[in-house]
Chains A and B, each alone.
Chain A
Amino acid sequence: MNSGGSSATVEVEHLTKIYRVHKRPPGLAAAMKSLLRRRYEEVRAVDDLSLSIAPGERVGFLGPNGAGKTTTLKVLSGLLHPTAGKVRVAGHVPQERQAAFLKRITLVMGQKQQLLWDLPPSETFALNRAVYDIPRVQFEETLEELTRLLEIGEVVGKPTRQLSLGERMKCELAAALLHRPEVLFLDEPTIGLDVSMQLTVREFVRRYNERFGATVMLTSHYMDDVAALCPRVVVIDQGKLRYDGGLAELVRTRRPEKRAVVGFERPVVRAELEESLGGMGRVVEHSDGKAVIQVRQSDLKAALAMVLARFPVADLTVEDPPLEEVMRELFAGEKPR
């Protein structure tokens, strides 16, 4: 996708992160034994990961739970030291946690909050202004803009504990972006939010990226987030890089089949439909008046012609298989092509 080199915002070379975890079998006896002698096991959270992200790129970071996404983001933001490998972000070595570096990045964690619980978000904003040493004029400008983009004008004055999850997340984003960071690490920023709130957050991230030219690296459980926001995706599984490239390409190479959703004027027997399709595809869903047919790209035309000719079609749409399914297949254990 990009050539890397010294102009990259994020550069990761052969990053490996190993945790030492204390392990013991279940049970009281084992628990007592482990008081005397502890057995440690090494967990490779990230394993020889290399990637490079250009300034202004929006990259989706995908992988099943425990794949090493959060660990990678924490290494990139300087919270964890790499066990091996080289990491550079915005020209700095993150683990040194230099003030100049920390002022240029931000990490938003959907599962944790920095807002002061008992106070209105505006108090956290004021605190962050002091911590980041933001000049007043710039602070007010940024806050005004963030308030407008996130539509949080009415909630910043209410105590955080009284806000809804979505309102809180929007204020979290504002608190994390007051210093106008150039690099955004967003770890599950839409977790637990309803669909419309997800859309708002997603739209906001895109606007911030376009407005400030910021580089965005985003992990999410909701494939829609990634599909809507990130032209490029990085997929990791068990700490290893599985795919790095365009999202559309990933869908195409992993699942070259298309889905045709067909509505019928009157009920159609499944077996009949399958028989007519022959080797071209298969029926993945079927109810009285509706069927979903999965067909290879190359057979799509022929299959549709057949269906239209032989069955009482009322309605027909063709779509890509859902991203979730592409992912499931990618993580099923086979090697990426």
Chain B
Amino acid sequence: MRRYLRLFFVQLRTSLTTGMQYRWEFLIDGLMALFWAAMALLPLWVLAGTGREVEGWTHPEMIVVLGWFVVLKGLLDGAVNPSLMAVVEHIRKGTLDFVLLKPADAQFLVSTARFDPWKMVDLPAGGAILVYAFSLLGRAPDAAHIAAALLLLVAASLVLYSLWILVVSAAFFVVRLDNLAFLFMSIYDFARWPVSIFKGAMRLVFTFVIPLAIMTTYPARALLGKLAPAVVAVVFLGAIGFMIVARLVWVRAIGRYTSASS
């Protein structure tokens, strides 16, 4: 366990060093990250203009959902995506062999291989949106509600990460995966809105197939004090179950892996 913690920090350090290797790129990346974080705030104005209620969500409440969306996007883009895009690259170039030759868990090694520190700018940006939303509501959230929301944030991260592991496991069979990754990102974009906005089949898909509801709507409801503690527990356990499934699929995929050249 301690060894893996150390390994994690070494990988993190390597990512940061890589990020700073090219000075100009680093600066431009930073500016771009700030720009996109600002862009994430843009829908606030749009919503502010209408100021009406949608499917039981008031305007400030919808902003809470948006805040969670930005926070989670920061986690996803900064800590999950870069590593998993790197695996896809590994599989295509056949260099995953080197990962599998290492005496450490392959899933851990690939999952912690790359971080994008600048994308983390979305984390404080999302935080700012949440603060703004509650200032509109004119109250501060409960400590218990914050705790529940944070727990759901962890659950949401686990689900997102597991989904990614499943997608990457598919890469062992499909090899060309760039488009699948793009599709995944596009779908994630829907998590910007409370899931109850969607109707019929879409809603079923976003709740059960691609659990967007869990990712942003539930933490938002928890923070607003509108989610029963039992639901929080169930979602959390569900997320852990999902991660176990992803792990099993990954192990199977590795077992079937035969590298790109013979």
- Which residues of A come within 8 Å of B, CB atoms? 19, 43, 45, 66, 70-71, 74, 77-81, 97, 99-103, 105-107, 109, 111-114, 116, 118-119, 123, 126-127, 130-133, 159
Contacts and interface: CB of A to CB of B under 8 A. Distances in A.
Contact of B103 (A19, A70, A123, A132): A132
B255 to A, nearest CB: 8
B21 A107 contact: no
Contacts of A123: 14, 17
Q: SS class of chain B's interface: helix, strand, loop or mixed?
A: helix
A132 B95 CA distance: 18
Contacts of A45: 262
B199 interface: no
Interface stretch (B3-11, B75-83, B120-128, B224-232): B3-11
B94 A112 contact: yes
A70 B97 contact: no
Contact of A103 (B22, B94, B103, B109): B103
A79 B102 CA distance: 11
Given A119-B21, A130-B6, A130-B7, 20 more contacts: A43-B262, A66-B262, A70-B262, A78-B101, A79-B97, A79-B100, A80-B258, A99-B103, A114-B98, A118-B22, A119-B18, A123-B17, A126-B10, A126-B14, A130-B10, A130-B11, A131-B102, A132-B102, A132-B103, A133-B103
Contacts of B262: 19, 43, 45, 66, 70-71
Contacts of B17: 119, 123
B94 A118 contact: no
Nearest to B3: A133
B252 interface: no
Given A77-B101, A102-B103, A127 B261 contact: no
B259 interface: yes
A179 to B, nearest CB: 8
Nearest to B102: A131
Q: Which of A70, A105, A109 has the most CB of B within 10 A?
A: A109
Contacts of A101: 103
Interface size class of B (residues with CB under 8 A): 20 to 34
Nearest to A115: B98
Interface in B1-43: 3, 6-7, 10-11, 14, 17-18, 21-22
A132 B14 CA distance: 16
B10 A109 contact: no
B104 interface: yes
A107 B101 contact: yes
Contacts of B258: 19, 80
A103 B166 CA distance: 29
A131 B100 contact: no
Given A19-B258, A123-B14, A118 B102 contact: no
B155 to A, nearest CB: 29
B101 A127 contact: no
20 contacts: A43-B262, A45-B262, A78-B101, A79-B97, A80-B258, A97-B100, A99-B103, A100-B103, A101-B103, A102-B101, A106-B101, A112-B93, A112-B95, A118-B18, A127-B10, A131-B7, A131-B103, A131-B109, A133-B3, A159-B21
B23 to A, nearest CB: 13
A114 B259 contact: no
Contact of A107 (B10, B14, B97): B97
A321 to B, nearest CB: 31
Contacts of B102: 102, 131-132
Contact of A112 (B14, B98, B255): B98
Contact of B97 (A109, A131, A132): A109
